[in-house]
Structure 1
Amino acid sequence: MTEIETRVLRPDAAGIAEAARLLGAGALVSFPTETVYGLGGDARDSVAVARIFDAKGRPHFNPLIVHVPDLDAARRFADISGPVEALAKHFWPGPLTLVAPLAEGHGLSPLVTAGLDTVALRVPAHPAAQDVLRVFDGPVAAPSANPSGRISPTTAAHVLAGLAGKVDAVLDAGPCPVGLESTIVGGTPLALLRPGGLAQEDIERVVGPLKTAGDTITAPGQLASHYAPNAAIRLNANAAHPGEVLLGFGPMQSDLNLSVTGDLIEAAAHLFDHLHTLDAMDRPIAVAPIPNCGLGRAINDRLRRAAAPRT
């Protein structure tokens, strides 16, 4: 891939307008959501979508999330009904991605869905993302803006560190407040396809128990090795071994701590930023145990994938 100059845009009216113009011209624009920074391209343009895969080094059998500004826009691309509709009405905009059957005449590039008859859709809550989507007025495919399998970006600096020279622009609106990718739900009956920034318990209060996803890849973020730093990761560590750096949780001595007070929301917001910082130390990373409840399930999911054997 030929390197290009990556511009940094401000989240003001001029920056939003330029981001939308670039998307309309088939360019790639990274923009913040409440979860992580996404790498956006026009979801109807197969060349733009192919550039996303190329920039990330992403396997083409891994589908992408399509971002839209509201439920009405989502209905142009998918059949949203039943419990999926109930979740959309309850949690959108927000950190929830819903997988639904493709609508007739949807117009999306087949690369977005990886050949499946379903599409993953999300309505982000971040004001900059909303502004871009509304000015662009089209569906934006936007996986996390990082090299495939590596740590997800929660700041514009993270995006530039991984993808400078491969994307046309980054809209810098500061750090992402949630800091953990969206929860993904879909299928019949509904299954939790990826834990994320919306707790499973909150979803089940609306639609009842979710089944567990199988091994088939039907949504983004289901690869066994994913979200990984360059350094090796050891999980459930109560202390660091010689030569390791320790990522702590709760009141303990550590090199960095996800949340000294044991707050899982704070821990989720800090996870990827702290992994980026520790990875730069070029030492193996030990990670303290994280409670497997609420957002802890999503944090542990990301840590297990980060620690998995690399593919």
Structure 2
Amino acid sequence: MDTKRWSVDKNVDNLTGYPQITQAADLLLNNEVVAFPTETVYGLGANALNDQAVAKIFEAKGRPADNPLIIHIADEEVVSDFVEEIPEKAKQLMKAYWPGPLTIILKMKEGVLSEKATVGLSTVGIRMPDHPVALALLQSTNLPIAAPSANSSGRPSPTTAEHVWDDLHGKISGIVDGGPTGVGLESTVLDCTEEVPVILRPGGITAQQIEEVIGEITVDPALLDSGQKPKSPGMKYRHYAPDAALVLVKGEREDIQRLILEKQQEGLKVGVLTTEENESFYQADKVIACGSRENLESVAGSLYDTLRNFNSADLDLILSEMFPDEGVGQAIMNRLVKAAGYRVISL
């Protein structure tokens, strides 16, 4: 398959009439699959009303068939077309954080959206992305677009069009290149079908920000304990993983350096995921600083690119420092724990 690629300047005031957007929208209207930027990561979009279109997403990514897709929209008014009701708390969150990196799960109307997108569930996750290219594409199609991250299943999510190209060229119809994404981690997923809403995936909107708007929420226990059955089907799969084995390490940097030397003496090539504060301290085969501990948003924005960069070093093992499990740090740790397959060493 020939994968078309268009470059679009996201700073243009009105993109809806641009030929690149029109060409990409035409592919979506013809039930093809197109990757596009959002403020979180690049998404792999298809017509959420058509089973054949949605099936192409699963085929291109190699995505498990029981892992539901988030539906992207450009206008809050259309939410009622797809769901039975919009609880007051959900309305408050839409007003506060849409467009933005928040996916809200609601009870779905039957027979409207593709069953392949919702994998037979009675609920659906919907969000409005905060990116001019994504919104222009959605407006141009006037369709709900099902869109997971535009990467091969299990690999780090893409934050540049080049990441998408590396994983999916020849497998999808097009890539809209709108430059690097901003947040760098996927949206927060909040189940609003419960009386007390539940975070199923931490992301760009923190638990504290949600509580400021609607009060009490809870967190799915499976986020904290790998032995718990996850509420969302997709949470049971390993995600975001680099090629080499990734292990999270609790301990002081001196202890981590000793572990590096031990593993090197065993004949392993070792990489270290750290931050700017400790980059010059470690002696390893590959050391990459992922943002600054003084600014966890910078860590979030760099995380997937950092995980992908380790793949060029032919490593056997990557040791990662831990991060505070609060604010956006909760989302960072969620992604690292999943990428490591829950492997954590305490020194």
TM-score scaled by length of structure 1: 0.94
Query: Separation in 1 of the partners of 2:240 and 2:331?
Result: 12
- Within 1, Cα distance between the matches of 2:7 and 2:217? 40
Confirm or deny that 1:305 pairs with 2:317.
no
Contact 2:55–2:116, Cα closer than 8 Å, also in 1: yes
Aligned residue identity for 2:203: G
In structure 1, the partner of 2:78 is: 73
Q: For 1:265, which of 292, 297, 309 is the aligned residue?
A: 297
1:178 to 1:119, Cα distance in 2 relative to 1, 3 A: same
Contact 1:178/1:197 (CA < 8 Å) preserved in 2?
yes
Q: Does 1:48 align with 2:53?
A: yes
Segment of structure 1 superposing worse, 34-43 or 238-247: 238-247
In the alignment, the residues of structure 1 paired with residue 341 and residue 319 of structure 2 have an alpha-carbon distance, to the nearest angstrom, of 14
> What residue number does 1:7 align with?
4
Q: In the alignment, what sits opposite 1:276?
A: 308
Give the secondary-structure state (helix, strand or coil) at the position aligned to 1:23: helix
Counterpart contact for 1:29–1:170, Cα < 8 Å: yes
CA contact (8 A) 1:247 1:287 kept: yes
1:104 to partner: Cα distance: 5.3
Separation in 2, partners of 1:219, 1:263: 30
Q: Is the 8 A contact 2:220 2:231 kept in 1?
A: no
Q: Distance in 2 between matches of 1:295 and 1:138?
A: 31
Q: After TM superposition, give the deviation of residue 212 of structure 1 in Å.
A: 2.2
**Contact 2:107 2:123 (C-alpha < 8 Å) held by counterparts:** yes
Q: Does 1:210 align with 2:217?
A: yes
Work out the CA distance in 2 between the residues paired with 1:293 and 1:144: 24
Structure 1 residue 234 displacement after superposition: 1.2
Partner of 1:118: 123
Match of 2:241 among 205, 213, 228: 228
Distance 1:140 1:80 in 2: 20
Amino acid in structure 1 at the alignment position of 2:42: Y
Shift of 1:261: 5.0
Q: Spell out, residue by residue over 1:64-89, the C-alpha distance to the aligned partner (whole angstroms, 9 max, x if none).
A: 00000021122211222221111111
Q: Residue type of the partner of 2:241?
A: A
Offset of 1:262 from its aligned partner? 2.5
- Please say if 1:141 is aligned against 2:146: yes
Q: Counterpart in 2 of 1:21? A: 26
CA shift at 1:207, angstroms?
1.2
Match of 1:191 among 170, 186, 198: 198
Q: Which residue of 1 aligns with 2:272?
A: 246
SS in 2 for 1:18: helix
Decide which structure has the larger Cα Rg and report it. 2
Instruction: State the Cα RMSD in Å.
Output: 1.7
Letter in 1 for 2:202: P
For each residue in 1:267-302, what CA deviation from the matched residue of structure 2 results, as whole angstroms up to 9, or x when unmatched? Answer: 100000111101221212111121111100000000
Q: Distance in 2 between matches of 1:68 and 1:218?
A: 24
Residue 29 to residue 217, structure 1, CA distance change in 2 (3 Å): farther
Give the letter for the 1:165 counterpart.
Answer: G
- Letter in structure 1 aligned against 2:304: F
**More off after superposition, 135-144 vs 202-211:** 202-211
Work out the CA distance in 1 between the residues paired with 2:229 and 2:37: 29
CA spacing shift, 1:309–1:143, aligned 2, 3 Å: same
Unaligned segments of structure 1, at least 5 residues: none
Shift of 1:209: 2.3
What do residues 156-181 of structure 1 show as CA deviations (whole Å, max 9, x unaligned)? 00001111111100000110011000
Aligned identity (percent) is 41
Q: CA deviation at 1:220?
A: 6.9
SS of 1:280's equivalent in the other structure is helix
Match of 1:294 among 327, 338, 342: 327
Return the alpha-carbon distance in structure 1 between the equivalents of residues 302 and 116 of structure 2. 32
